[in-house]
Amino acid sequence: MPMPAEFHELAARVNNWGRWGDGDQLGTMNLITDEVVRAAAACVRTGKRFSLAVELREDGIQNGVIPGRDNPRRTTFLVNHEVFGPGTVATSDDAVVMGLQAGTHWDGLTHASYDDRLYNGFSARKSVTAEAGAVELGIQNVKTLVTRGVLLDVARAKGVDILAPEYAVTPEDLDAAEEFGGVRVRAGDVVLVRTGQIAKYLAGDRDGYFYGPGLSVRCPAWFHARDVAAVANDTVVFEVFPPEIEDCFMAVHALHLVEMGMLQGQNWNLEELSEDCAADGVYAFLLDASPQPFAGGVGTPVNPVAIK
Span 7-19, pLDDT tens digits: 999 999 999 999 9
pLDDT at position 137 is: 98
CATH dotted code for 5-65+100-307: 3.50.30.50
Domains of the chain, by residue range, sit at 5-65+100-307
Span 217-274, pLDDT tens digits: 999 999 999 999 999 999 999 999 999 999 999 999 999 999 999 999 999 999 999 9
Q: How far apart are CA 12 and CA 7, in angstroms?
A: 9
pLDDT at position 1 is: 72
Rounded mean pLDDT, 42-70? 96
pLDDT at position 209 is: 96
Q: How far apart are CA 292 and CA 20, in angstroms?
A: 24
Rounded mean pLDDT, 284-297? 98
Q: For residue 95, is pLDDT > 90? A: yes
